[in-house]
Structure 1
Amino acid sequence: MRTLALAGVLAGTTLSALPPTAVAASGAPETYALTIRHLDRAGAATGGYSTHVTGISGPGAQQEAAPYDASGTVTVRLPKGRYLLDSTLYGSDPATGTDWVVQPRLDLNGDTTVTVDARTTAPVDVRPPESGARYLNSIGFVEVTHEGTTRSANIMTAREGLRVAHLGPASEAGSVKEWFDTYWSGARADYGLGYTFTSDRALTGLVRHPAAGGLATVKIRGAAAEGATGTGFVSVQPSAGPTVGLAQPLEPSATATVMVNPERGRWDVEYTGPAAPETPPNRYVANGIAVHAGATTTRTFDNAVFGPALDTTPGARPAGVRDGNRIALDVPLLADGDGHAPSAPRFHSATTTLHRDGVLIGTRRGEPGRAEFTTTPGTASYRLTASATRGDGTASSGRVTAAWTFTSAATTRPTALPLSTVRFAPDLALDGTAPAGTLLRVPVTVQGAAAGTGVRSLTVSTSVDNGTTWTRVPVIDGQMAFRTPASGRTVSLRAELTDTRGNTLTQTQLGAFRTR
């Protein structure tokens, strides 16, 4: 996903407007006069325009021009080649809207005249299924590919009334790709309506009035993080292609509802929580969310249970790596209850240690779950331990510890370490609490090396006295179930895992959540 802040085209060599009689300098490529006439919706010449000409292939492939003349007719000299031309026409009254004309194929083989005529455009009429929804903004983006080179142009507007048109001959089949995204705010929901097109032409008009049943619902919940004050922010945007996205404030313990168009593909959600004293606001990202018409997807950010989480997407960076004699750990130790890793985890202290055959190699302090060590060649047994204390470091603060054992030797290339984690995902209120004295079912998920069929044994336990005593709880069909203690108590969680190759994990989460 590419989020655009302002309109523009690819950088090149910007040429000033030249009279048709101008002559190229000695040794420069031969140039031709490109004359561009601009007409408004009444058919009259207008100086209210912004035009870009961008080289795609041929001698002019690296050229870019933004010629202007107040008369409405302007001439620029450019080398021979294929160009992308786009022109935005502004009426005398902004309330009447804007016209965007795109010529994806401009073959400059000699002196050429192009007429950009606002009368050829047709409306972009994309509206959500809520009559009172307020229009926020929209973006149109076009990419043109020729002979292996891609160039682009875009328009962004915060006013309704956009009209668009294709200009000139058709390009090669499939060489023109276009996105149109519009964003709205309503009483029932906010809306992100996006459409993509692949063709040999730019769009001339666009009409889409989706029904509510054809949209997907994304609910974003922001937890009331301990010590945080103020307002958080949430943004939603398509994962693929350029966009401006939809952003809005989100109060703690509140829910934002956004209805999106599944035709646009997967969607990304970003949440920035309220600031806590002396700590920066936490930023969480959930990318590539699959959405389906008529279905609701809920994402909760910054809520318990905080603990280790691994990136399980294909091709993700491994949690630990052995490269020669270097051992590196990279595990978000304080990911939130949904497994989102924070940009600035709130912690009081963090320590990581590495032992080789029982001998301490080193201790690192700093960011939770991230450290590097240098060891020695030869096969040996290792114990890698990472811990972090949340809150103010007092006895009531939450503490997370993960200790892995594995056998390793020097490698000739970066090799993933056989590390696993266990995720506990109870359904908690947005203040990180569960009802007292009730049967609580907690999904238990193994990530990493032991995921799937790699578990030899897994034992989970709970504690209501901050880890002094533990009670084993069976895991059945991926869930543990236990009765929560009296109101105001904390529940701690522990997992002891051995994978099928003998590697182990002991993971402890003291003060995982509270009861109410």
Structure 2
Amino acid sequence: MNRQMKRAYATTVAAAATVALTAGMTGPASAGGPTAAGETGTAGKGTTAAAAPGSVIEQEVGQNPEGYLTISGTSMAAPHVAGAAAILKQRHPDWTYAELKGALTASTLGGPNYRPYEQGSGRVAVDRALAQTVVAEPVSVNFGEQQWPHADDTPVAKEITYRNLGTTDITLDLAVTATDPKGDPAPADFFTLGARTLTVPAGGRASVDLTTDTRLGGTVDGTYSAYVVATGEGQSVRTAAVVKREAEAYDVTLKFVGRDGLPTPDYWSYLSGIAGDGRGSYREPHDASGTVKVRLPKGTYLFDTTISEDPEDSRAGTDWLVQPRLDVTGDMTVTVDARTAKPVDITVPDSAAKPTWVAPRYWYAGEDHNIETGVDVDSFDSLRTAHLGPEVTTGSLNQQWIGVWQKGTDTEYDVMLGGNTRKLATGYRKHLRPADLATVKVGMGASAPGKQGRLFVAGYFPELGGISPITDPLDLPRTRTVHLSTPDNTKWDIAFEQNGTPDEEGTAPTESFYTFDEPRAFKGGATYETRFNGGVLGPRLSRAEGISRDGDTITGELPLHADGDGHAGWTRYDSVHTTLYRNGVKLTENSDALDGNGEGFTVPSDAATYRLTTSVRRDPALATTSTRVDASWTFRSETSTTRTQLPISTARFTPETDLTGRTPADRTAVVPVTVQGAAAGNNLKSLTVYASYDGGTTWKKTPVKNGSITVKNPAKTKSIAFRANITDKQGNRSSVTVYDAYFGK
């Protein structure tokens, strides 16, 4: 950095530290306004600045034009304003922040299609600011809000004072232009000036009144804006002004009563606008007296309140009272009385199981709103609830009672009850019986030693999915017994993750993740088994998975490491190498794991024979089984008008192993082999399977009989590898190889 650049940089930093300027925008990245939220519009949209080669930003956006970066946002606007202030400070070293701010704001250039909330007074013009000697105080005028109705509004005047920083008197011609909330010209005399000319003495001040008369707005409510422009002696001073003409609104008084019948300060409530002029608004009214008045636009609101016996301990008692539909059509008083709430009583058929997590919640959806919320309590025992107001007849209200009970480290009860309703429950009682619960024994596998992992169990209704607590990881491998509630047609999803070594902050990274394809229905009283992260992991194909072509792009979306029970998911790879050949010639290669997250391959449109190969590897410290998977698919393809699945196949190997991927050494074992994809079923032309006991150095052909192969399990601590070559009746060829498929023990 040369001396001149250092001096300019130091000046900019010094000015930025001492000058309280704010940056507005004339683009969508952010917004300015007529107050301290943004009194100028700056070069924040498509701003060009010198590039720092090799910087993070330079790497992200590139140089355009060469040597420069072009970016939008306040991150660009703010330093440009600071730089403008620094230049101005250099010209006028004796000016304070007020003069600097005033000159930059007064000398702006207005955009013809922008209003004060979009550009402040206008776009910063440094050259004009350097010649500026007249500033306005304040730099913007906010008349606030005039309450509805407006027939009796009183005109409001505010003073604009012009200050002459120069050495000669200056006479200013004053003019005001105004727009209504729609951007059309405001009615005549909506904003008026007390004078049309004003002489400001050298070193002195002169003032003029700006008056707004909101009675003149007719039926158009909202924010009206104006610009007062004073011109003279080659200078202009721009001052933005706004006033809000309130739409139809009313005073709503909210009263909160505790269980003792007295006003309570221990409440939390919110109002969410779902229809009318208040749609999309959100308020959290509170006053320690237990009574609070809010001004609400005419419309419909959801009103949600929690009253606590002890705000620091939910076990002391929590009352949750919700009015899904509060119609505000006039001044009104609404009383929320905790004494109207009734108890919630939900139990599981095991007194030794203790609640560890509860999440009562509801979902209220409609054309103009989508509200999902709940209440934070430690147990259902301390909760009481009540529905307030009318029923919801649109079918858009859903309630959930979600809870988890645990006994020891390996038994849990997961409960989700409720569903679509017209009214939220005023009290709720459900004592679950064994016949109401499905039992799922969940194996949590890990082939590498010293691993930890956890389960996520979430219920689903047709209208709304559930949520699952994030628990502490447990040592692997292990089997957990999960009891799932079955009333109310609940479906369940179970997911598993294997965690790596925690970082310095104690966060354990995810190394592998597996889940059901979709939530499943279970039968009460029945017992099920499933295992995650176990068995032989390898490619899986289904109707929704595979290699596809859309136009001239070939992409992959399939799990290369689906677990032995067929659960799809994700695992961390040490290396990925994927290559595409066209008519025997290598077309391209990349690190696409074919899991749907890659960029795919762009290919010529005419028909050709393609061979797609991939090889993925896992660190043995993450998993000692299925450490390497190779796959190859050969098929014909040409351009397509829609996304088309390509004819590929795979083979799944499903021997019986324990949760570490091991089986008794040296025994004879029958290993089922299942073909998936294009060659499945009657379209299979040939299937050849090989086994290797030396890491793939040598292979022995193994006959397939009745959908299985017979092998000798590997010796203790040794592994076996499998390879399958598949051809369908159309001649498409596929090959899959799984190294370290399982070990002997």
Task: Give the TM-score range, shorter chain.
Answer: 0.7 to 0.9
Question: 1:301 offset after TM fit, Å?
Answer: 2.7
Separation in structure 1 between the aligned mates of residue 626 and residue 548 of structure 2, nearest angstrom: 31
SS of the residue 2:563 aligns to: coil
The aligned amino acid for 2:724 is A
SS of the residue 1:219 aligns to: strand
The aligned amino acid for 1:403 is S
CA 1:474–1:283 in 2, change beyond 3 Å: closer, same or farther? closer
For residues 432-464 of structure 1, the C-alpha deviation after alignment (integer angstroms, 9 at most, x for no partner) is: 111124342333333333344432333333333
For residues 269-314 of structure 1, the C-alpha deviation after alignment (integer angstroms, 9 at most, x for no partner) is: 232213269995313131434222123333323334121123x3x6
Q: Which runs of no fewer than 5 residues in structure 1 stay unpaired?
A: 1-21
Query: What residue in structure 1 maps to residue 398 of structure 2?
Result: 177
Separation in structure 2 between the aligned mates of residue 445 and residue 414 of structure 1, nearest angstrom: 26
CA 1:462–1:479 in 2, change beyond 3 Å: closer, same or farther? same
Verify: 1:229 aligned to 2:456, yes or no: no
SS of the residue 2:727 aligns to: strand
Contact 1:51–1:66, Cα closer than 8 Å, also in 2:
yes
Verify: 1:376 aligned to 2:604, yes or no: yes
Residues 77-86 or 231-240, more deviating: 231-240
Question: 1:137 offset after TM fit, Å?
Answer: 2.2
Separation in structure 1 between the aligned mates of residue 445 and residue 625 of structure 2, nearest angstrom: 20
Verify: 1:295 aligned to 2:526, yes or no: yes
Question: Residues 57-456 of structure 1 correspond to what in structure 2 (within 5 A)?
Answer: 57-92=275-310, 94=313, 95-146=315-366, 149-159=369-379, 160-172=381-393, 174-187=395-408, 189-226=411-448, 229-240=450-461, 241=464, 243-246=466-469, 247-263=471-487, 265-275=490-500, 280-287=509-516, 288-290=518-520, 291-310=522-541, 312=542, 316=544, 318-347=545-574, 349-365=575-591, 367=593, 372-391=600-619, 398-456=627-685
- TM-score, normalized by length of structure 2? 0.61
CA 1:219–1:381 in 2, change beyond 3 Å: closer, same or farther? same
2:265 is aligned, of 43, 47, 52, to 47
Contact 2:363–2:373, Cα closer than 8 Å, also in 1:
yes
CA 1:390–1:248 in 2, change beyond 3 Å: closer, same or farther? closer
SS of the residue 2:339 aligns to: helix
CA 1:205–1:283 in 2, change beyond 3 Å: closer, same or farther? farther
Residues 52-61 or 282-291, more deviating: 282-291
Query: What residue in structure 2 maps to residue 15 of structure 1?
Result: none
Query: What residue in structure 1 maps to residue 741 of structure 2?
Result: 512
Q: Which runs of no fewer than 5 residues in structure 2 stay unpaired?
A: 1-145, 149-242
CA 1:245–1:508 in 2, change beyond 3 Å: closer, same or farther? same
Contact 1:368–1:387, Cα closer than 8 Å, also in 2:
no
Query: What residue in structure 1 maps to residue 723 of structure 2?
Result: 494
The aligned amino acid for 2:486 is P
For residues 397-423 of structure 1, the C-alpha deviation after alignment (integer angstroms, 9 at most, x for no partner) is: 843211111001123343322222221
Question: 1:71 offset after TM fit, Å?
Answer: 1.1
The aligned amino acid for 2:657 is L
Q: Which has the higher contact order (CA 8 A, sep 6+)?
A: 1
For residues 240-272 of structure 1, the C-alpha deviation after alignment (integer angstroms, 9 at most, x for no partner) is: 535442434321111222211123622222322
CA 1:223–1:67 in 2, change beyond 3 Å: closer, same or farther? same
The aligned amino acid for 2:468 is G
Question: 1:162 offset after TM fit, Å?
Answer: 0.7
Separation in structure 1 between the aligned mates of residue 725 and residue 699 of structure 2, nearest angstrom: 15
CA 1:144–1:258 in 2, change beyond 3 Å: closer, same or farther? same
- TM-score, normalized by length of structure 1? 0.86
Contact 1:368–1:388, Cα closer than 8 Å, also in 2:
no
Separation in structure 2 between the aligned mates of residue 68 and residue 391 of structure 1, nearest angstrom: 56
CA 1:68–1:459 in 2, change beyond 3 Å: closer, same or farther? same
Number of equivalences: 487
Contact 2:256–2:267, Cα closer than 8 Å, also in 1:
yes
**Once superposed, what is the RMSD of the aligned Cα atoms?**
2.9
Question: 1:429 offset after TM fit, Å?
Answer: 1.0
CA 1:407–1:170 in 2, change beyond 3 Å: closer, same or farther? same
Question: 1:103 offset after TM fit, Å?
Answer: 0.9
Separation in structure 2 between the aligned mates of residue 158 and residue 396 of structure 1, nearest angstrom: 41
Contact 1:284–1:340, Cα closer than 8 Å, also in 2:
no
Separation in structure 1 between the aligned mates of residue 344 and residue 515 of structure 2, nearest angstrom: 30
Verify: 1:28 aligned to 2:246, yes or no: yes
Separation in structure 1 between the aligned mates of residue 359 and residue 625 of structure 2, nearest angstrom: 49
For residues 340-391 of structure 1, the C-alpha deviation after alignment (integer angstroms, 9 at most, x for no partner) is: 44534244x3322222111121232464776733332321111111122344
Separation in structure 1 between the aligned mates of residue 677 and residue 267 of structure 2, nearest angstrom: 56
The aligned amino acid for 1:111 is D
The aligned amino acid for 2:699 is T
Separation in structure 1 between the aligned mates of residue 584 and residue 244 of structure 2, nearest angstrom: 76
CA 1:413–1:147 in 2, change beyond 3 Å: closer, same or farther? closer
